[in-house]
Amino acid sequence: MLAIFKKELHTYFNTLSGYIFLGFFVLINAYFFSNFNIGGGIPTYANTLMYTLSMFLILIPVMTMRLFAEETRQKTDQLLYTSPVSIGKIVLGKFFAAAALFLIGLIIIAVFPLILSYYGDVPFAETFGCFLGYFLLGSSLISVGLFISVLTDNQIVAAVGTFAAVFFFLMMDGIIESMPMDTMSSLLFVACVIFFIAFILYNGTKSVPLSAAVFGVGLVAEACLYLYDSNFFELAVKDGFHLYNSSIFDGIIVKVLNWFSVLNRFESFYMGVFKLSDMVYYISFITVFLYITVNTIEKRRWK
């Protein structure tokens, strides 16, 4: 894994991608720093980091588009996959190299809060928390870009796909606001989630009976929970001759998407609040995408 890590990090600085990333990253942060912190007299650097989240749309594709797509295009992926190094270590080596490049950029811009400290009191604990959340959020999006790079041998296609995925994750909070709240939509959403779980199980085991059984049991459990909720856990308020019922399924789409929102988790770090659950979420998010990346490569390898 260390050899892969060194090779990828060395490649970043042997090509323009590493310099483009660092240059653009520092330049954009310097621009917002000079305008909001210096020009506006704001001592909190967390606000500046929040404003720069949109540049992930460009920087994450630049960092990740070549990681596997270039290997596939040059046909060097077969040599890589037949090497003594396991697929998991190859994926981790590439991920850590991209995350290290991102960390180098963060270390460079860490000088900005130090500059602010010469002119006033800077909340360093809050700033550190925001930097930590920023790194975890960026690393999570890097894992998404790494996965998309595995799916194609074209760097441009990988970059466009990563752009679309990053855009979706950054805009998820806006998408959530337009989601339906009614019970029927929630039931359909839960059924789709059950189907997705069954599909993932089939994808990993190739067992149709097992996947069908999981899907069937999931649907039955959903129906039973709905009937149980409707009959025994209804919140009734008498209003003349009307009875209003409330289901636990109401608004479940919004609740689930809110839980999965990467920006929702970042807000805690932005406000200087350290939550173990948020850190576990980001680490789990990264782990899931690295796992499906390894799984995708393994299937291609055996084919």
Q: Where are the domains of the chain?
A: 2-177+259-302, 183-250
Give kind and range of the element (H or E) at residue 238: strand 238-239
Across all residues in the chain, what is the average pLDDT? 80
**Residue 291 · residue 283 · CB < 8 Å:** no
The model's pLDDT over 3-39, given as tens digits with 9 standing for 90+, comes to 888 888 888 888 787 888 888 899 999 988 888 878 7
Which of 105-109, 204-208, 243-247, 263-267 is the most confident on average?
105-109
User: Is the pLDDT score of 165 beyond 80?
Assistant: yes
pTM of the model: 0.81
- Which of 39, 50, 52 is closest to 119 using CA atoms? 39
In this structure, what DSSP letter does residue 245 have? Answer: -
Strand partners, 239: 242
Decide the pairing of beta strands 238-239 and 242-243.
Answer: antiparallel
Considering only 49-63, 110-124, 239-253, 263-277, which range has the smallest mean pLDDT?
239-253
**Residue 152 · residue 69 · CB < 8 Å:** yes
Which of 27-36, 121-130, 134-143, 227-236 is the most confident on average?
134-143
What whole-number distance in Å separates Cα of residue 195 and Cα of residue 201? 10
